[in-house]
Amino acid sequence: MNEDRFVDIEIKIARQEDLLDSLNQLVYQQQKKIDELEALCAALARRLKDVVSGGNEQSAANERPPHY
């Protein structure tokens, strides 16, 4: 009886260890994806800022002077 109980406990521990490894791998992959998305957002924000600031310079160059 005790031996069966130990076997059941060992099986449960092995399953928990496997589940923990799977969850750790999933968390690692999610963090990696989050880092990629944050880098992409930062790059897009910089590009948008450059386009907006560059657009202001171009529109200022194309505006009619105030004396017209």
Residue type, 34: I
- Hey, is 63 helix, strand or coil? coil
State which H helix or E strand residue 59 sits in: helix 2-62
- Dump pLDDT digits (tens) for 6-65: 999 999 999 999 999 999 999 999 999 999 999 999 999 999 999 888 866 655 566 777
Q: What is the model's pLDDT at position 45?
A: 96
Q: What is the model's pLDDT at position 25?
A: 98
Q: What is the model's pLDDT at position 58?
A: 58
Q: CA 35 to CA 3: how far, in whole Å?
A: 48
Q: CA 18 to CA 12: how far, in whole Å?
A: 10
Q: Per-residue DSSP letters for 24-55?
A: HHHHHHHHHHHHHHHHHHHHHHHHHHHHHHHH
